[in-house]
Amino acid sequence: MSYDDQNIFAKILRGEIPSIRVYEDDDTLCFMDIFPRADGHCLVIPKTPCRNVLDASEAQLTSVMASVKKVANAAMVGLSADGITIQQFNEGPGGQEVFHLHFHILPRHEGVALRPPGQAGDMDAIKKIAEKIASHIG
Ligand code: AMP
């Protein structure tokens, strides 16, 4: 399986389609999922191409996981979360829909179930939540 640079996250990286950005460094970008399964649902991706964990380099995985940890801790504080679910899918049969490596960060609150996939969120609400997370990233 090869990398297709027309995938939607590659377009977000190139600025061809909009995103609500939470955090970025030289190697990674975190932006909000616009179909949030939990308040604060966001995605961390490498800025360089790879489909998923199966073809990622160790350097890509290392930098992405460092950002996952940074954003997850910021979401814990900024959203007063009780826990964080991290999800990652590989290839279609593994549940992957967008073929640029990404880790889902899903802030969790006691007793609150994840929403079903595919439900569009309110963009103003998502922007406010993104600001709360971003304000706790050092
Ligand atoms: P998956 O490939 O199954 O891990 O999921 C891809 C994720 O990307 C889903 O959670 C979608 O809601 C999310 N998604 C799809 N398009 C966009 C977009 N334009 N901006 C932000 N998130 C998106």
Catalytic residue among 100, 102, 104, 136: 102
How confident is the model over 71-80, as a mean pLDDT? 98
The yes-or-no verdict on residue 138 having pLDDT over 90 is no
Give the chain's domains with CATH numbers. Answer: 8-134 (3.30.428.10)
Beta strands in 25-88 (DSSP E): 28-32, 42-46, 83-87
The average confidence (pLDDT) of the chain is: 98
- CA pair distance 126, 41, nearest whole angstrom: 9
How confident is the model over 7-33, as a mean pLDDT? 98
Its pTM stands at 0.98
- Please name the residue whose Cα sits nearest to atom 14 of ligand 1: 33
CB-based contacts of 131, cutoff 8 Å, min separation 6: none
Question: Which amino acid is located at 5 in the chain?
Answer: D
- Please name the residue whose Cα sits nearest to atom 21 of ligand 1: 33
**CA 8 to ligand 1 centroid distance, Å:** 8
What's the pLDDT score for residue 6?
A: 98
**CA 130 to ligand 1 centroid distance, Å:** 16
How confident is the model over 46-73, as a mean pLDDT? 98
Residues facing 31 on adjacent strands: 21, 43
- Please name the residue whose Cα sits nearest to atom 4 of ligand 1: 96
How confident is the model over 119-125, as a mean pLDDT? 98
The yes-or-no verdict on residue 1 having pLDDT over 90 is no
The yes-or-no verdict on residue 33 having pLDDT over 90 is yes
Share of the chain above pLDDT 70, in %: 100
Is 136 one of the catalytic residues?
A: no
